[in-house]
């Protein structure tokens, strides 16, 4: 009977498995999640914050809602963009998803 317990991976009738060996798979899973999910997401968020802080008047931007326009005014949390001649829209600074370049 003891042979069957050892063959199934057990420690025998009286022993308990565990200790540090039980945490190794959890540590490996956290490492994989960190390098495949958490770290790239933090890197992308850092790039987005840098993009938002580098905004200036005259930049052609795209909002997350799909509005394309030229930045005409900036405050701490709002961006005023001109989407058509004499048509200006205020959007949240965080909703700017990208800069398309300088306005011509």
Q: Residue 77 pLDDT more than 90?
A: yes
**Phi and psi at residue 6, in whole multiples of 5°?**
-70, -35
Task: Place 80 in a pLDDT band, splitting at 50, 70 and 90.
Answer: very high
Q: Please report the pLDDT score of residue 20 as a whole number.
A: 82
Q: Please report the pLDDT score of residue 101 as a whole number.
A: 74
Q: Please report the pLDDT score of residue 9 as a whole number.
A: 59
Fold of 56-104: SH3 type barrels. (2.30.30)
72 SS3 class = strand
Residue the block writes with tokens 């060996």: 21
| Ranges 39-43, 74-78, 80-84, 100-104: which has the least confidence | 100-104
Q: CB 88: neighbour CB atoms within 10 A? A: 13
Q: Residue 90 pLDDT more than 90?
A: yes
- Spell out the domain ranges in the chain: 17-54, 56-104
């Amino acid at each position: 009977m003891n042979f069957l317990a050892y063959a199934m991976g057990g420690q025998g009738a009286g022993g308990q498995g565990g200790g540090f060996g039980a945490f190794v798979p959890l540590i490996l899973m956290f490492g994989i999640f960190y390098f495949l999910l958490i770290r790239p997401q933090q890197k992308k968020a850092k790039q987005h914050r840098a993009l938002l802080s580098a905004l200036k008047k005259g930049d052609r931007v795209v909002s997350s809602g799909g509005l394309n326009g030229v930045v005409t005014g900036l405050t701490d949390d709002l961006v005023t963009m001109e989407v058509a001649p004499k048509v200006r829209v205020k959007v949240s600074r965080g909703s700017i998803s990208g800069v398309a370049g300088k306005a011509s």
